[in-house]
Structure 1
Amino acid sequence: MSSSTQESLTPWQFAPITRCIPEDQYTDLEVIDLSLFSLVSGDAATAQAEAQKELIKRTLNAFNTTGFIALKGHGFTHEELEEQWALGKLLFENVSEEEKHRLLANIKEGSWAGYKPQGYHKRPDGSFDCVEHYDFYPNTMLERNLPEVAKPYVKDFRKFLEHQHYVVFRKLLAVLSLGMELDQDFLWKLHHRGTDMNDGALQGGPDEEINWKHGKDDLRYVMYHPPPEEDREKKKNLWVSGHTDFGSVTFLHSQPIAGLQVLMPNGQWRYIRHYPDHLIVSLGDSMEFLTGGVLKAAPHRVIEPPEDQRHLDRLALVYFFPFLPDVKLSLIDHPSLKKLGAKDVWEEYHKLGGKVLTSTDWIDRRSKLVGTKRLEREDKDAESVLDDIHFRHHPEYAKAAAVAA
């Protein structure tokens, strides 16, 4: 990162930590230092797994219980992360509404690449949708897709995505694979075609077509704006309702405005505290299906920030990792999964004649069911079982379990 780049960006000012949340309303995440793990091959991977058994065990246990970890030792410096927060600020505060409109994502056609404006979603409570975001897929990281003020930073955006995909994500998947007694690269091969550490897909010119042949990763810069006062009651303090993520893994760069809550195994909602310069990592429902629940997708939500932070804009940096589109979401066939207590979520569905679903099949199915209600059917068939699976991993599940919160 050059000094000229630093000088030309206005830093994002982080809010002070809230004083309004009692300590017992937080949950402490398992903190995993990824710098203690290195990628090796062959017999060395097995030897490393033995030497780092405790790190691997703690990671697996966290994703089997709370469903979240706080990740440090990811390789980003404090200055590199500050630059990305500043770039997020730039994308929202230094771009006109006219230019944002020119770069709108084609959401109706299933693409999030570009801007999603405030007010796009019609909230069922009648309140205004105050969230805007700008998304990249790896193959859309081109100068021509950026607003004018952000075009000089196309390489900075690419490096940010590149390191998360090729380094942090790959190492984390290796830890999880070894934890389930699988080959080190087992999960990596379900997300990335080929085994290269970095195949150079993002290293061409700023407007040169990108040959990305892996999963459809989604890097998102999000700005949550405080709602109008008249809408606060309509929202019932809820900004994003309880849900599990699509796909495989989600990285959320920690920031200090409180609001993210995770549904604990006992049915209580608890805040996730701020871990400066850490990645907050959770798993998507497809990862849970593939591993038979050994790795869990934890329901989570975003509620209105506490009183001393309520008036502030909340910037978030998020990275969603899906599986490759043709990956079959069948339970991994390996003795170690059975030993770890894996259960096949698709068993009844397949017995009723349902075909094996790919990652894309499930995302399409779930997208159509979001916002719908469970239909009563006289006879159970494969389609109704799919509905049941969806609603068990849907916001409605989280709402029902949260009654005791």
Structure 2
Amino acid sequence: MPSRTLPPVEPYTPAPPPTEDLDYADLPVIDLSKTTTLEGRAKLAAVARDAMRNYGFLYAINHGYTPSETKRMFDIANVPFEHVSNEEKQTYAGNIKATGSYQGYKLRNYWHIDNGVHDQLEHYNINRDVTKKQHPQALRPLLPEIEAFAKHCHSNVLHPILRLLAIGLEMPEDALVNIHNYYAKGETYVRFMKYYPRSEEEEEKTNNVWLKGHTDFGSITVLWSQAVAALQILLPDGKWRWVKHVENALVINVADALEFLSGGFYKATIHRVVQPPPSQRGYTRLGLFYFAMPDDDVVLAPLEKVSPVIQREGVQLDGRFGDGEAPTMEVWRRGRTSAYGKSELKKDESGADVEVINGVVVKHYN
């Protein structure tokens, strides 16, 4: 971590925990401190493999940041929303549809949710190379801490998770690590995100859905657990269940790129964001993320040649590539980023909203 003499940041006060008895998903937990030994990795690999096969989500604890360090990062995450003027936000807004990149701000009302209602969430995205773009004045003194956070997420969270998942595929431990290089060309990034409460009219028109059910498009998403209950995942039994807040834990999920590379062995689980329960309504919901992707030039085709598991299990992608070839990570991320919330969707036989991006079928669920 950086020096103890840190720039002052206004503390962020999270919402109190929900008082309702919610139907929570029973997700497995892995202890990242045990990934430093061969024996520890061997034991945890089976847990991670089964979790990402059955749920696509798990919790990770003992990730190397103390509660106070995590609190500091949430304080920093609040800065681009509360300490940057609307005029300056416009200056640093990303041209998302044109560039296929989220770098900078995604401002409110950009995505269409349903029935003419647009989103009420804002996020600020910083490439792991924090020098790649300019940033608002209030964030500039904090860039060394943000860079240290990105490196920590990459080396001490992402890479250990990838090693466990590679072991689960009976591949060399570093097979997935080697295509997730910190300094390679790519768009892996830190995201600060804030949801704002909506009107009752908007809640009614969207059936209380703040962000439609979707899969992430990278390989692994790291979410730093926060207090407001709103995240739900669609489990194999067809039911939506809440993800419970675990203090100073991480919520880890598989995304599209890893599903493609594993031939469908690991599942990119559908998840959504909904209106919080009554005890937490009226609070904003602050998120701290690390969205990881393979290097831009990686072709997202199943790694059959290096994985005996994929060879035995076969490729289980349910025709998602259609008749086309697998895209590179760069092509896939640009296509998904440009289209999300902006393209015309059609219903399939299951009632899901469907679009085709670079020959790959993408579904969104209400």
Aligned to 2:146: 157
2:351 match: none
Task: Determine if contact 1:244/1:284 at 8 Å carries over to the other structure.
Answer: yes
Match of 2:193 in 1: 222
- After superposition, the C-alpha distances for 1:162-208 in whole angstroms (9 at most, x for unaligned) are 11112221111111112221111100111217xxxxxxxxxxxxxxx
Alpha-carbon deviations, 1:60-102, whole Å to 9, x = none? 1000001101011211111111111001122211111111112
CA distance 1:99–1:292, change in 2 (3 Å)? same
AA paired with 1:93?
A: E
Is the CA contact (8 Å cut-off) linking 1:191 and 1:214 kept in structure 2? no
Alignment of 1:2-401 (within 5 A): 2-5=3-6, 8-22=8-22, 25-38=23-36, 48=38, 52-107=41-96, 108-141=98-131, 145-192=134-181, 212-333=183-304, 334=306, 336-338=308-310, 341-345=313-317, 354-366=324-336, 370=340, 371-374=343-346, 389-391=360-362, 394-396=363-365, 399=366
- Structure 2 residue runs without a partner (length 5+): 349-354
Which structure: greater strand fraction? 2
Identify the range of structure 1 (360-369 vs 255-264) with the bigger mean alpha-carbon deviation.
360-369
3-state SS of paired residue (2:55): coil
Deviations 1:321-342 (A, max 9, x none): 1111211122112452246624
Contact conserved, 2:125 with 2:190, CA < 8 A, in 1? yes
Whole-angstrom distance in 2 between the partners of 1:348 and 1:3: 49
State whether residues 332 and 358 of structure 2, in contact with CA within 8 Å, keep that contact through their aligned partners in structure 1: no
Q: Is the 8 A contact 2:224 2:248 kept in 1?
A: yes
Identity of aligned pairs, percent? Answer: 32
Q: Conserved in 1, the CA contact under 8 Å of 2:217 and 2:256?
A: yes
The TM-score with structure 1 as length reference comes to: 0.80
Give, in whole Å, the separation in 1 of the partners of 2:65 and 2:100.
Answer: 31
**1:359 shift after superposition:** 2.1
Deviation at 1:220, TM superposition (A): 0.6
Secondary structure of the corresponding residue to residue 60 of structure 1: helix
How many matched pairs?
Answer: 355
Specify whether residues 72 and 228 from structure 1 end up closer, same or farther in structure 2 by C-alpha distance, changes over 3 A only.
Answer: same
**Residue identity opposite 1:173 in structure 2:** L
* 1:347 Cα deviation after fit: 7.4
5+ residue gaps, structure 1: 40-47, 194-211, 377-382, 400-405
Structure of higher CA gyration radius: 1
User: Letter of the aligned partner of 1:345 in structure 2?
Assistant: L
- Tell me, yes or no, if the aligned pair for 1:248 and 1:322 is still in contact at 8 Å: yes
CA separation of 1:368 and 1:316: change in aligned 2, threshold 3 A: closer
Which letter maps to 2:327? L
Task: Mark the CA change 1:16 to 1:356 in structure 2 (over 3 Å): closer, same or farther.
Answer: closer
Kept in 2: contact 1:27–1:270 (CA 8 A): yes
Pair 1:234–1:99, CA change in 2 (3 A): same
Q: Which amino acid aligns with 2:46?
A: K
For 2:325 and 2:225, locate their aligned partners in 1 and report how far apart those are by CA, in whole Å: 39
**CA deviation profile, 1:323-378 (whole Å, cap 9, x unmatched):** 1121112211245224662425387968x5x33432233334545765434599xx
Does structure 1 conserve the Cα–Cα contact (< 8 Å) formed by 2:196 and 2:285?
yes
Please report how far the alpha carbon of residue 128 of structure 1 lies from its aligned counterpart in structure 2 after TM superposition: 4.0
3-state secondary structure, aligned to 1:160: helix
One-letter amino acid of the counterpart of residue 337, structure 1: V
Task: For CA contacts below 8 A with separation 6 or more, give which structure has more relative contact order.
Answer: 2
Secondary structure at the counterpart of residue 166 of structure 1: helix
Measure, in 2, the Cα distance between the counterparts of 1:386 and 1:149.
Answer: 38
CA contact (8 A) 1:30 1:69 kept: yes
Q: 1:335 to 1:280 in 2, by over 3 A?
A: closer
Report the counterpart of residue 352 of structure 2 in structure 1. Answer: none
When the two chains are superposed, the root-mean-square deviation of aligned CA atoms in Å is 2.6
